[in-house]
Amino acid sequence: MLKIGSHVSFAEKGLAGSVEEALSYGSSTFMIYTGAPQNTRRKPLEEMFVDEGRKLMAEHGIGEIVVHAPYIINLGSHKKDTFELAVRFLQEEVRRTQRLGVKNIVLHPGAYTEMDPEYGINRIAEGLNEVLDGTADTDVSIALETMAGKGTEMGRTFEELARIIEKVRRNDRLTVCMDTCHLHDAGYDVVNDFDGVLQAFDRVIGLERLAVVHINDSKNERGAAKDRHAPVGSGWIGFEAIRNVVHNEALKDKPFILETPWIGKVKGKERPMYEAEIALLRGDAAQRFGPEFLDHVERLHHFFDKEGIEPRGYVLKTWEALKSDAKARKADPREPMERLYDMIVENRVLPGEFTEEALNHRLTAWFAGKEWLRSA
Ligand code: FE
Ligand code: FE
Ligand code: ZN
């Protein structure tokens, strides 16, 4: 069975709440942070409904899940305090991961800040050695994430990750998490040559190290080194390329985790597109959402055809204009998905009342194209 899900909350009702949220999206896996990603405050796991969560998982056939370490951990830092805090806290996170019954904890390798990439590689390896030596009694693996290359962050190339891995003694406990947005932003051609990307990965790191795949579209062009995620279909990567990632034979059985942004016009009322994204990527949206949903998507195609608007072309053209034309961006900063949403509302394309979320789910299915609709 395809393992696909999203990042879900662990704060509300601990692991039991995470499972419930994941199930509400139709997920077969999910990812959590054990506490706020920005800080090191953690509630004791005893209060986090772990047994209840594991029981719910078993009942619903959810096996493998993933933990993500907080961003404040920087093993690349030259500052003694920052580095030592990172080592100590990551060890605690590894222990928590073990107690949650989870195999992989995803980690942003680190940033070299005022130093240089060579320093970063050595420092990160030094930190990983300490963390892995100090947690030798666990069987948790640290999954180094491929990064976009924003600022001084490391892990933007497979070569950088490979050099870190080869400097780590217990590197049998190092795995890798691929992130489609990060790969694309770092310059890898996820859109036209994902097989080539996987071949390079296999040559430099080895596919056997790949443990997790993050599934995100990108708000920026290939090589932009930006790291801004977009809902699937609304960015530069596109639905087709992302579907090819999820169904790639070489990635069979890996957990695919969405980290796409929640959207909505009212601050605090944003909703995720996960439910639609998961169903569309898995290929069971028709069963999940029913015939009415398909009828609505067909109406969207009909309307946009009439307007001469085609999903991929419109999305790319709009991002291109937002990027290259500062004046146009100032006049209308709305991103492609919001523009399309507004057109649907203004022209009353769909019958009846829709929540913003429900309408955006249909728009997400429109991104998947007519081909998808025909086969649904
Ligand atoms: Fe990440
Ligand atoms: Fe990611
Ligand atoms: Zn990211």
Instruction: Return the domain boundaries, the chain.
Output: 4-282, 285-375
Whole-number Å distance, alpha carbon 108 to ligand 2 midpoint, is 9
Q: Say if residues 180 and 213 touch (Cβ distance below 8 Å).
A: yes
pLDDT digits (tens, 9 = 90+) for 340-357: 999 999 999 999 999 999
Q: How far away, in angstroms, is 123 Cα from ligand 3 center?
A: 22
Distance 174 CA to ligand 2 centre (A): 17
The confidence score (pLDDT) of residue 331 equals 95
Q: How far is the CA of 134 from the centre of ligand 1 (A)?
A: 23
What integer is the mean pLDDT of 146-169?
Answer: 98
pLDDT, average across residues 10-39: 95
Q: Is the pTM of this model over 0.95?
A: yes
Residue 139 has pLDDT above 90, yes or no: yes
Report the separation in Å between the CA atom of 30 and the middle of ligand 1, taken as the mean of its atom positions: 14
Say if residue 38's pLDDT is above 90.
Answer: no
Using 50, 70 and 90 to split pLDDT, how confident is the model at 376? Answer: confident
pLDDT tens-digit profile of 168-198?
999 999 999 999 999 999 999 999 999 999 9
Ligand 3 midpoint to CA 145 (Å): 9
- Name the token pair of 336: 């492609």
Mean pLDDT throughout 111-128?
Answer: 98
Q: What's the pLDDT at 374?
A: 84
Name 142's bridge partners: 105, 174
pLDDT at 40: 87
Instruction: Specify the pLDDT at position 215.
Output: 98
Name which CATH class applies to 4-282: alpha beta
Q: Ligand 2 is a single-atom ion; what residues have CB below 5 A from it?
A: 179, 214
Q: How far is CA 211 from CA 91, 145, 246, 321, in A?
A: 20, 10, 14, 37
- Residue 108 pLDDT > 90, yes or no? yes
pLDDT score, position 47: 93
What residues pair up with 4 in beta bridges, in sequence order? Answer: 256
Long-range contacts of range 35-41, CB-CB < 8 Å, 24 or more positions apart?
35/10, 35/11, 35/70, 36/11, 36/70, 37/68, 37/70, 37/71, 37/72, 38/70, 38/71, 38/72, 39/70, 39/72, 40/70, 40/72, 40/85, 40/89
* Closest by CA position to 316, among listed 203, 248, 240: 240
Q: What is the mean pLDDT of residues 210-219?
A: 98
Residue 375 pLDDT > 90, yes or no? Answer: no
Residue 282: pLDDT band with limits 50, 70, 90? very high
The answer, yes or no, to whether residue 34 has pLDDT greater than 90, is yes
Distance from Cα 346 to the centre of ligand 2, integer Å: 35
pLDDT band at 266 (very low <50, low <70, confident <90, very high): very high
Considering every ligand atom, which ligand is closest to the CA of 144? 1
Is the pLDDT score of 320 beyond 90?
yes
Q: What is the mean pLDDT of residues 223-247?
A: 98
Residue 259 Cα to ligand 2 midpoint, Å, equals 7
Give the ligand at the shortest distance from the Cα of 33.
1
User: How many Å lie between the centroid of ligand 1 and the Cα of residue 5?
Assistant: 15
What is the residue-averaged pLDDT of the chain?
97
- State the ligand closest to the CA atom of 214: 2
| Residue 181 CA, ligand 2 centroid: distance in Å | 8
Q: What is the mean pLDDT of the segment spanning 55-66?
A: 98
Q: In the predicted model, is pLDDT for residue 60 greater than 90?
A: yes
What was the pLDDT predicted at 44?
Answer: 93
Identify the band that residue 229 occupies on the pLDDT scale cut at 50, 70 and 90: very high
Give the closest ligand to the alpha carbon of residue 148.
3
pLDDT at 58 over 90: yes
User: Hey, which residues does 9 pair with through a beta bridge?
Assistant: none
